[in-house]
Amino acid sequence: MLVLSGIMVMAVSGLIFIGCTKEGPQGPAGANGTNGKDANATCTLCHNFGDTVIVKIFQYDASKHASASTIIEAARSGCSGCHSHEGFLEKLQTGSSVTQAYNDAAPINCRTCHTIHSTYTPADWALRNVEPVHPYIDSTSSIDLTVTIPGGTDGTSNLCGKCHQARKNTPWITNPKGTDSLAVTSTRWGPHHGPQFLMLAGKGAFEMGSSACGTSNHKGNATCRNCHMGPAQGESVGGHTLTMSSAETGDNVAACRPCHSSIGATFDLNGRQTEIAGLYQTLKVKLAQKNVLDTINNVLKGPISATKPKKFTQIQLSVYWNYCMVDADRSMGVHNYVYTRDMLNAGIAYMNSLP
């Protein structure tokens, strides 16, 4: 009897539950128009996970930008503008190279460079900023690496240049040929690690020779995107990996062939990388011999500290700065062969003139 009563209670409870949760009348079908406002039509323009989107995601995930290997630098106000997503957006907004310190920062990601979720159309793939660059070393000047392409212009290099440039140091060189001394308080005095934009533009080196440095014209014919986002090979080189060379694929010369049809299997076109590497090594040795360069750590020769600065002549620091520009550029002349060759030769000539 108790069992039967229990079954009846459960049955009644089930009826009540069903009655309380019964669905109401079906609503109208969702809109699927093309006016840019309907959810389905708008979101699926990008959120369709077709092959094109998936390829870009896995390529970028293999890039150094995505690795966030230097995101810890975002905790410094002088570094976060390039080392974090938040700092970069702040820098674009304020125009200042000094931004807030971000302790819980996001790495450089899709939204750092692209205006995602702004118009909710494919226009969101556009780059955030392609305006000319006011370099840190001389904010009163302007560098514009926009090139003319079929159907318009391409200023993508300017976005890269917002970060890939040299930083200004204290003390600063005001007379590159001067023999007066400047007191340096850190062995890490120099242009920092990413001056590629300046090298491509043929700017940023100190000229101490009898003539100005010349320049190649990569800047007038190509953008950073043309080469670093060239034909992709998986997640190793090209595309959104932004990588030019890997151990597996070698140099991605496919990006060069549209202009340099005779190029071989490496970037060493006509032996120019070999030439620059030789000049670089020669200057490195000479700087070390004169106690300017610590070749083990590739920094200024110490001991140097804030409390015990070391004095170098302005021309010594000029030669050292140019050496660091070539070292940090890492292309061994590819970005700007003539400019790189001339600055190294000028430095070698000065070092050879010393007793």
Percent of the residues in the chain that have a pLDDT greater than 90, as a whole number: 77
- Measure Cα distances from 209 to 119, 343, 350 in Å: 52, 8, 8
Percent of the residues in the chain that have a pLDDT greater than 70, as a whole number: 89
Given this model, what pLDDT does residue 8 score? 52
**Phi, psi of 227, rounded to the nearest 5 degrees:** -95, -50
Higher-pLDDT residue of 83, 41: 83
Given this model, what pLDDT does residue 44 score? 78
> Quick one: DSSP state of residue 312?
E
Strands (E), 231-313: 245-246, 250-251, 293-294, 299-300, 310-313
CB of 219 closer than 8 Å to CB of 145: yes
* Residue 15 scores a pLDDT above 70: no
Q: What is the mean pLDDT of the chain?
A: 90
Given this model, what pLDDT does residue 165 score? 97
Q: What is the mean pLDDT of residues 33-61?
A: 75
CA quadruple 283, 141, 150, 110: dihedral sign: positive
CB of 212 closer than 8 Å to CB of 245: no
pLDDT digits (tens, 9 = 90+) for 145-204: 999 988 899 999 999 999 999 999 999 999 999 999 999 999 999 999 899 999 999 999
* Residue 37 scores a pLDDT above 60: no
Nearest to 269 by CA among 334, 201, 343, 202: 334
pLDDT digits (tens, 9 = 90+) for 276-301: 999 999 999 999 999 999 999 999 99
The predicted model scores a pTM of 0.87
Distance between CA atoms of residues 86 and 104, nearest Å:
10
Distance between CA atoms of residues 334 and 227, nearest Å:
11
CB of 98 closer than 8 Å to CB of 80: no
pLDDT digits (tens, 9 = 90+) for 206-257: 998 888 999 999 999 999 999 999 999 999 999 999 999 999 999 999 999 9
Residue 151 CB neighbours (<10 A): 6
